[in-house]
Amino acid sequence: MILSKEVPDDEDFDNEVFMGVYQSAIDLYGQIHARFIRSPLGLAIMKEKYLSGEFGICPRALCDGQNALPLGESEELREYGVRLFCPKCKEAYIPSRRYENVDGACFGMSFPHILLETYTDLYIYEKGEEFIPKLYGFKIYGHRGSEYYEEPIEIEEEEKFVEEAKEAVN
């Protein structure tokens, strides 16, 4: 069934026995795929796909269109869909609708890391640019406990900053 060139028709999809066998074949293929892409030949093929951008790009604007890699959140079938891993910001993202029916177990949790360890020239050592929230060009000081919180500058320092800004304008 996996290697067949025949496409199932509507009658096949209405047959419960066929659907059970069909789902088992899909699961088997996914598990074989997950093992194959970790082999030397599979890694070489996946490297070329990564370099050509077949898996998509990081949706984060500050990563400047960095190519992404497929990642599974679990090795168990039908637990999670595939995610995109960005080697630049080291984050995983939910991909576009194109991949919504792809099981993450078909890639596994370790695939991107095995690929980057095997092909060290692909590893990105620089961290993606940090996002700093601003309002009209001024940095926002968040509330205590926020990741963006910084202690406010002292009044004297602020007044000095304002005076320097006024002098620079004049």
Q: Report how far apart, in Å, the C-alpha atoms of 53 and of each of 7, 66, 84, 98, 158 are.
A: 29, 9, 12, 14, 47
Tokens describing residue 122:
């692909």
Identify whether residues 64 and 144 lie together within a single domain.
no
pLDDT tens readout for residues 119-155: 988 877 776 667 777 777 777 666 555 665 566 556 6
Identify whether 18 is part of a domain: no
Identify whether 86 is part of a domain: yes
Identify whether residues 107 and 142 lie together within a single domain.
no
Provide the pLDDT for residue 144: 56
Q: Reduce the DSSP state of residue 41 to 3 states and report it.
A: helix
pLDDT tens readout for residues 92-125: 998 877 777 888 888 988 899 999 999 988 877 7
State which residues form the domain around 161.
134-169
Identify whether residues 114 and 52 lie together within a single domain.
yes
Identify whether residues 112 and 41 lie together within a single domain.
yes
DSSP at 8? P
Q: How many distinct structural domains can be found in the chain?
A: 2
